[in-house]
Amino acid sequence: MKKLMILIVAVALAACTFQTKHRGYVFPDDLETRVAGIKTTAELQEKIGDPLAKTVYGDTIWIYYGMDENYRGPLPHTYDNKTVLLATVHGDRVIKTQILHDDDLPDIEMDDDETPIPAAIELNALQELFNNIGRFSPAGMGQ
């Protein structure tokens, strides 16, 4: 009985992964000093890269974002080391840069609800199975 319990605990612990994945930009440690001397968009692209997004309305702002996503087995994902670089751009000039870290950013909770799609067809598993018959070619047919 003890051996079985030890085996179950060992398998359960082996299934728990502890890893961190980086999302977005990997900013250098000296980001503040690198960004401080930037005056043109060419310099910004050379030192940091292309932005993840640019604003559409109002002043043009280039947005750079990076964070670490932590996986801890069955526990919920956590995010840390969030950094956002905002660069206000006018033409080819960088007018202002602002760096936001974890403490400067608001905590936003994602809602678990799903947005309904208008005129969507809801099928159960059996209907879905029969609906897919004939849609796919057999393997190896090259179509």
Domain extent listing, the chain = 28-103
Residue 136 has pLDDT above 80, yes or no: no
Q: Who wins on pLDDT, 72 or 101?
A: 101
Mean pLDDT of all residues belonging to the chain: 81
Average pLDDT over residues 85-114: 85
Q: Who wins on pLDDT, 143 or 54?
A: 54
Share of the chain above pLDDT 70, in %: 88
pLDDT for position 103:
82
pLDDT band at 31 (very low <50, low <70, confident <90, very high): confident
| pTM for this model (two decimals) | 0.60
pLDDT for position 139:
64
Q: Who wins on pLDDT, 90 or 56?
A: 90
Complete DSSP assignment for the chain: -HHHHHHHHHHHHHH--EEEEEEE----TTHHHHHHT--BHHHHHHHT-S-SEE-SSSSEEEEEEEEEEEEETTSPPEEEEEEEEEEEEETTEEEEEEEE-GGGSPP-PPP---PPPTTPPP--HHHHHHHTTTTSPPTTS--
Average pLDDT over residues 23-46: 87
